[in-house]
Amino acid sequence: MEEAEDRTMTTIAIVGAGFGLGAAVARRFGREGHDVALVARDRARLDALAAELAEEGVRARGFTADVRDRKTLAAALDAAATALGPVEVLQYSPLPPPDFMRPVLETGPEDLLGPVEFSVYGPVTAVRHVLPGMRALGRGTVLFVNGGTAAVPHPDRAGTSIAFAAESAYGHLLHDVLAADGIHVAQLVVPGAIIPGHPRKDPAVLADALWDLHRERHGFRRYADDLDA
């Protein structure tokens, strides 16, 4: 007799959750039975989003953290696992602030500290914190969402170009080494802005793409749209 597959109720943790892409992903994964941990800085917005999702039948809770503060990020992920169940899916998709996007010749070492904390130290902290739980489950998915400068650097957006490139390299390395553990790591590159109603960059369309990455489990990078879009 074959051993039954372990389908322990699990959680998706969305780091950088908001009313756009984060809400759409919460709805998509919530429909599939996942509980949702919403991680962001603004408690009032998190509570409002969790309440809106609850009205739609999605079990969601907010957990406050600043991705540039490793202690608060780790604490939020711990609290999410305790309150909702083990984190099977981690999505790292906070929106970089505009001051990270300065021309390259106007960017000094001090200007790169924020982008690197945001797009390198943050994801490394989050991934390392959830990996033990994923290994205990015997499965997991890590989803990185980045702008187009992750693939093609832009001279007027030096901070994100440099930091996203490092985040991409980290994700690709994880993709290669964690596959043997049943953990899939993938990146969705969204060129330009997320646009409601757009055929390829509407939040719900992107949420479907992220669900597909989680379920299909092959390849590292997918583009939501053409890079010049």
pTM of the model: 0.94
Predicted local confidence at residue 227, as pLDDT: 85
With cut-offs at 50, 70 and 90, classify the pLDDT of residue 36: very high
Can you tell me the distance from the alpha carbon of 213 to that of 39, in angstroms, rounded to the nearest whole number? 21
pLDDT in tens, 113-156: 999 999 999 999 999 999 999 999 999 999 999 999 999 999 99
| Domains of the chain in sequence order | 12-223 (3.40.50.720)
HSE-CB at 62 with a 13 A cutoff on CA atoms is 24
Could you tell me how far CA 106 lies from the centroid of its own chain?
29
Counting residues of the chain whose pLDDT is more than 70, the rounded percentage is 96
Predicted pLDDT at 229: 53
Question: Measured in whole angstroms, how far is the alpha carbon of residue 73 from the centre of its chain?
Answer: 13
Angle at the Cα of 21 (from 19 to 27), degrees rounded to 5?
80
- Rounded to an integer, the average pLDDT of 196-211 is 97
Give the DSSP H or E segment for 28.
helix 21-31
Question: What mean pLDDT is reported for the chain?
Answer: 94
Instruction: Calculate ∠ Cα 22-23-24, nearest 5°.
Output: 90
